[in-house]
Structure 1
Amino acid sequence: MLNIPKFGRFVIYSLFLCTLLTSCSSVASRPADVPYDNEVSKFHEPETTGSIKSRDVRESSGLTASRCQENVLWTHNDSDDGPFIFALDPQGRNLGTWKVTGSENTDWEDIAAFKDTDGKCHLLIADTGNNYRKRSTLKIYRVEEPAVTEQTAETRRRNALATAPAESFSFSYEDGGQDAETLLVHPTTGQIYVVSKNITSAAGVYKLPPFQAKADQVARKVGHISVPAVPNGLLTGGEISPDGRRVAVCDYFGAYELTLPETAADFDEIWDARAIRFDIGRRAQGEAITYTADGNTLYATSEKRESPIFRVSRVTEE
């Protein structure tokens, strides 16, 4: 969207804040700066499964694992690209490129997979980037998930396939402009959550109703997420687990998980849970994380060309 790379803007803003806040000793907490709580998070050590092979994926800004097609991951570029989605396998091999019909990429930030009660799979895309808070309305697209075949693997940006027509709705925040890079969709209720990206405070969690193709909805603030890092609200991606019991979020360097209490009567109680840090691998500029369909594995990417693909699996009880 702008000539200055996103990470460059982040560094500039952070350095400015550091001159004002003497307690700020670094631009951001890298993985070595904050201890992992492996006893609580119970994940194995991360591994690299491959790297994104498609040269068309310059900055993997969002990532989601298909709920209908095994070993299919979906990603997209950030701003300054057309409305394209890319399918890849866990090793990063290209499985196909599609242009999302009836959409525009103003500043796409995240993507989420959703399987409806009829067994039909959709992809939701958050056009919610708003670095200078100048966009008064944001947009979320929904498109039927394309089918991956041997033939689609031959497609690239130059010969991209067309998706089914996308639906969309516009929305605004009840408390004014926000920049947001995290889109969450509850797997059962279809409720949509957008999480703001804050450099001076915890991230705000905003709730929208299940997808409806109409304009001018209002996102209501229902909670916040504070992660054990500095800054504590600079979230860049996330997803709700397929069983609806956990939320994984990430910032540029770390990854965190919140767990819904067993006694909770409402999913929104999860925003009061403590964010537990776990090791997702050393990413240069992480902006995307996703659960697999079984919820036991997470994948993450970094926002650069030929990004490594990181995988971490949950320790299961015997």
Structure 2
Amino acid sequence: MILVTGATGLNGKAIVREFARQKHEARALVRDLDRASAAGLGGLAGIDLIEGDMRRADTLGAALNGIDRVLMISTAAEDMVETQCRFIDACKQAGVAHVVKFSGAESNIGYDATKFRFTRMHEEIERYLEAVGMAWTHLRPSQFMQVYLRDAPTIATEGAFYLALGDTELSPVDVEDIAKVAVRLLCDGGHEGESLDMTGPEALTMSDIAARISQAVGRPVRYVDVSPRERRRNLLAAGVPADFADALDEQLAERLRRPKSRVHLATHEMFGVRPTPFVEFARRHAAMFGG
């Protein structure tokens, strides 16, 4: 049996839905059954929703009972290391054979992971998992295409989005591609002791992304380059907590230092998943981008 944690988050939800779409059974760990049902996870064929908290082993008995493989996802928060390491211990205690850690990897060439706190956290958890004695695999996607849906309101109303990336390239990957790979990996097994990086099929500047959204919605969309200080003000005004904005400042500074991005499609190819081009993603979400 397979368990997916973080099932109400962006990636967890996509992965659980992909299990249902492919008619595979899986168990989904959620902290609140009502919230999970409201998020669209209730009633999915073959999906067993079960309540528990990754940070509290005493709530995980039923969730981990009979589980062979786990996909471990949790929120990028200040307590991520403690949360995931405690959960790894609970998996070990319950006799889980294989933990797949949903991690992350920047696509920028020469990127120094130590400059971004959440990448440092992912690497610390990876090391802990590798040492604990279970089979492990790290699934390490780059930036998600879905990040740009945050900019849909200004794209729809102003025909523009505002970031501080200059001419920096990124290689965003579609969350739906990640979900297809994750389901294949969890159902088929194997790949123990491997780190599987994923990017999208194109290295794109923000102007390139604007052009692809323009193509999808049939009207001009501009990228407006703002200063890092203005970007931070915009984040705080949108309700982003100050400590999370600090982390994003670290990430931005390193991306600006390393403006070229790599494309890595070996994981797509390994699992027979066609990489989604950004324009195809934008067309799928044209109603949001176009208002």
Q: Same fold (TM over 0.5)?
A: no
Higher helix share: 2
Higher strand share: 1
- Structure 1-normalised TM-score? 0.27
